[in-house]
């Protein structure tokens, strides 16, 4: 497979970090490139190693530096002054930004700058995971070897690791990228969170394509304002090298439309009237039902159609984003049409196959906003009634429990309140916190309460009528239920399939 789009050398980093240059910092990079270990946790420092004092350490920074030096660090990297008496015999390397410096060191140690594989970064409030799976499907169907770093797993052919963060820490990220390169991965598809961009976890990496799905209210406890949140996401397009990477932007989103005017080269995509831009992928929804989507796409004078079992207009956007990303790498509309074979993402409005032909979906929605969105999608389709099974996680924000229940009451015809991951709380007390929300709105659904999640699924299945849809919300792709310190095997998909067999035969 030949890629038609590639970054030119002039668009790479202003000073290529893989090329040795005279100076103390480059001398340190050379040592790291030769195998000198770098640490960001002072407790892990061994004699002779490098310690990077990260900005996140805050007022503990000096204590961590003292600890690293006491353990034998010979080099300390910091972006603030360090008193000579703290360093002992260690050498200080002052850098403008310690997080960026860590990226340079990781790039040198793991030699990620020498990898020939392409990298696609995806950011946005919603749709990152689904879009990453869709891109993976197109590329793999075209015969390419694909690696994925995202919310569910870090994986490539022959390797899979459950994800701890949507975007790993900088050092682990480079480690994973280096291992993918050794496994001859052709393309890396990476979800890039706003936290990761703000904390510069992707420092030292180059992106060939950057994708924005959308920007809606989220993580304001961290970012403070929507503008700050948007600016964090925009770093993938403005700051991450190379400068000539292709930006894939959703023009139906106001923030995406804003970036379309500011970053180039770009490829805009959307379902509404297209704005002026470098290039556009225009989509039209021909049908949107409980059976799935039928879309028409137009790009550079060519048109094609595809059908997909994915449901909802939001998935039409995800399908467009994935196709736009692959077109940016030089694939054709013929490869893009392979999405008609894609069956869905684990736990993301995942259709549950069953012998009775019931419309059942499992979704990771576990916040009020997510419950509103997924239920609104299902209500907009051609189903008679919506039955929603939901619960609230233990040892988490108690204030959102009645809000989650209110979200269900506003959309569902039947609300089944049960357990999610109770953790160290009593499931009945969690349900009691949620209960007021079921009757606080303008409408009250039929209400069923059952603390045992499997039994709740059985009751929900038993309440379904012809033409109904069942939504099982909260746990999504998780294959366990956390009760106290134990993680008990529990898959919503497998559990509801078993409930259908048990209740309906």
pLDDT tens readout for residues 371-393: 999 999 999 999 999 999 999 99
Q: Are residues 105 and 152 in the same domain?
A: no
Residue 8: per-residue pLDDT: 39
The average pLDDT across 438-453 equals 95
Give tens-digit pLDDT for 325-369.
Answer: 999 999 999 999 999 999 899 999 999 999 999 999 999 999 898
Report the distance separating Cα 12 and Cα 8, nearest Å: 7
pLDDT of residue 117 exceeding 80? yes
Domain end call among 341, 367, 399: 341
Is 36 inside a domain boundary?
Answer: yes
- CA–CA gap between residue 296 and residue 350 (Å, rounded): 23
193 and 298 together in one domain: yes
For residues 224 and 266, membership in a common domain is answered with yes
Whether the predicted pLDDT of 489 surpasses 70: yes
Do 152 and 296 fall into the same domain?
yes
Which has the closest alpha carbon to 122: 134, 113, 110?
A: 134
- Average pLDDT taken over every residue of the chain: 93
Answer yes or no: do 122 and 177 share one domain.
yes
Residues 313 and 430 in one domain: no
Angle at Cα 82 formed by Cα 81 and Cα 88, nearest 5°? 155
Mean pLDDT of 315-324: 97
Angle between helices 98-110 and 24-33 (to 10 degrees): 40
Q: What is the pLDDT of residues 89-113, one digit of tens each?
A: 899 999 999 999 999 999 999 999 9
How many of the other CB atoms lie within 10 Å of CB of 16? 12
Q: Is the pLDDT assigned to residue 5 strictly greater than 80?
A: no
Q: Are residues 402 and 448 in the same domain?
A: yes
> Is residue 316 located within the same domain as residue 462?
no
DSSP state of 113: G
Residue 369 has a pLDDT of 85
Residues 6 or more apart from 421 whose CB is under 8 A from it?
A: 393, 394, 475, 478, 481, 482, 483
Choosing from 341, 374, 391, the residue where a domain stops is 341
Residues 84 and 119 in one domain: no
Confidence of residue 9 (pLDDT cuts 50, 70, 90): very low
Give the chain's domain count.
Answer: 3
Instruction: Look at residue 26 and tell me if it is in a domain.
Output: yes
Does a structural domain hold residue 403?
yes
232-289 pLDDT, tens per residue? 999 999 999 999 999 999 999 999 999 999 999 999 999 998 776 678 999 999 999 9
Give the domain range for residue 31: 19-109
d(CA 183, CA 479): 28
The reply to whether 3 falls in a domain is no
Which one is predicted more confidently, 486 or 126?
A: 486
Based on the fold, state whether residues 279 and 403 are members of the same structural domain: no
CATH number (domain holding residue 82):
3.40.1390.10
Whether 12 maps to a domain, the answer reads no
pLDDT band, very low/low/confident/very high, at 1 (cuts 50, 70, 90): very low
pLDDT at position 505 is 85
Task: Supply the pLDDT for residue 404.
Answer: 96
Q: Does residue 10 belong to any structural domain of this protein?
A: no
Q: Please state, in angstroms and as integers, the Cα–Cα distance from residue 94 to each residue in 19, 54, 81, 82, 505, following that order.
A: 20, 12, 8, 9, 69
Mean pLDDT for the stretch of residues 217-246? 91
pLDDT at 2 over 60: no
**Which CATH number belongs to the domain containing residue 126 in this structure?**
3.40.1190.10
pLDDT in tens, 24-51: 999 999 999 999 999 999 999 999 999 9
- Same domain as 155, residue 296: yes
Would 7 be classed as within a structural domain? no
Per-residue pLDDT tens over the stretch 393-416 = 999 889 999 999 999 999 999 999
Say what the pTM is.
Answer: 0.87
Q: Which of the listed residues 53, 83, 109 is the one where a domain comes to its end?
A: 109
**pLDDT at residue 21 greater than cutoff 60:** no
My answer on whether 276 and 178 are in the same domain is yes
Q: pLDDT category, 299, cuts 50, 70, 90?
A: very high
Report, as an integer, the average pLDDT of 422-429: 97
Per-residue pLDDT, 353: 94
Average pLDDT score over residue span 184-208: 97
pLDDT of residue 304 exceeding 50, the answer is: yes
Given a cut of 70, is residue 55 above it in pLDDT? yes
pLDDT of residue 277: 63
Helix (H, G, I), strand (E, B) or coil at 419: strand
Spatial separation of the C-alpha atoms in residues 81 and 84, rounded to whole Å: 9
Least Cα distance to 36 among 72, 86, 67 occurs for 72
DSSP 322-388: HHHHHHHTT--HHHHGGGGG---BTTBSEE---TT--EEEEE---SHHHHHHHHHHHHTSS-S-EEE
Q: Report which of residues 23 and 66 the model is more confident about.
A: 66
Q: What is the CATH number of the domain that holds 425?
A: 3.90.190.20
Q: Please tell me the predicted confidence (pLDDT) of residue 22.
A: 54
Of 112-121, 148-157, 272-281, least confident by mean pLDDT is 272-281
Whether 265 is in a domain gets the answer: yes
């Amino acid at each position: 497979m030949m890629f038609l789009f590639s970054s030119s050398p002039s668009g790479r980093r202003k000073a290529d970090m893989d090329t040795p240059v005279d100076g103390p910092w480059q001398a340190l990079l050379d040592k790291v490139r030769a195998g000198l270990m770098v640490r960001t946790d002072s407790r892990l420092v061994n004699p002779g190693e490098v310690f990077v004092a990260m900005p996140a350490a805050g007022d503990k920074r000096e204590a961590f530096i003292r600890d690293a030096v006491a353990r034998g660090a010979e080099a300390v990297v910091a972006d603030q002054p360090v008193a000579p008496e703290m360093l002992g015999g260690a050498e200080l390397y002052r850098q403008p930004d310690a997080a960026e410096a860590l990226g340079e060191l990781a790039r040198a140690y793991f030699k990620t700058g020498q990898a020939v594989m392409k990298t696609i970064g995806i950011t946005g409030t919603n749709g990152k995971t689904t879009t990453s799976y869709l891109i993976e499907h197109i590329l793999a169907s075209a015969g390419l070897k694909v690696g994925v770093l995202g919310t569910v797993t870090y994986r490539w052919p022959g390797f899979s690791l459950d994800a701890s963060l949507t975007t790993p820490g900088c050092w682990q990220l480079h480690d994973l990228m280096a291992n993918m390169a050794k496994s001859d991965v052709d393309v890396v598809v990476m979800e890039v969170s706003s936290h990761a961009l703000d904390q510069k976890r992707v420092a030292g990496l180059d992106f060939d394509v950057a994708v924005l799905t959308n920007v809606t209210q989220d993580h304001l406890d961290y970012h403070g304002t929507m503008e700050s949140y948007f600016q964090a996401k925009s770093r993938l397009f403005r700051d991450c090298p190379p400068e000539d990477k292709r930006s894939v932007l959703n023009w139906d989103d106001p923030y995406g439309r804003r970036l379309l005017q500011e970053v180039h080269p770009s490829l805009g995509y959307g379902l509404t009237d297209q704005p002026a831009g470098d290039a556009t992928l225009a989509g039209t929804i021909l049908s949107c039902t409980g059976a799935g989507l039928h879309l028409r796409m137009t790009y550079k004078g060519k048109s094609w159609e595809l059908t997909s079992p994915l449901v909802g207009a939001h998935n039409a956007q995800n399908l467009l984003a994935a196709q736009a990303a692959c077109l940016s790498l030089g694939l054709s509309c013929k490869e893009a049409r392979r999405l008609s074979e894609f069956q869905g993402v684990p736990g993301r409005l995942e259709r549950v196959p069953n012998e009775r032909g019931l419309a059942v979906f499992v979704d990771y929605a576990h916040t009020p906003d997510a419950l509103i969105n997924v239920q609104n999608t299902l209500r907009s389709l051609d189903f008679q009634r919506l039955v929603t099974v939901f619960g609230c996680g233990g040892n988490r924000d108690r204030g959102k429990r009645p809000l989650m229940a209110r979200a269900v009451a506003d959309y569902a015809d039947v609300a089944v309140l049960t357990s999610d991951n109770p953790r160290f709380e009593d499931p009945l007390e969690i349900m009691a916190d949620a209960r007021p929300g079921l009757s606080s709105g303008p409408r009250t659904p039929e209400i069923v309460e059952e603390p045992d999640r499997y039994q709740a699924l059985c009751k929900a299945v038993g309440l379904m009528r012809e033409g109904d849809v069942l939504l099982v919300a909260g746990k999504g792709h998780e294959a366990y239920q956390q009760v106290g310190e134990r993680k008990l095997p529990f898959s919503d998909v497998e559990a509801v399939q078993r409930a259908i067999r048990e209740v309906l035969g």
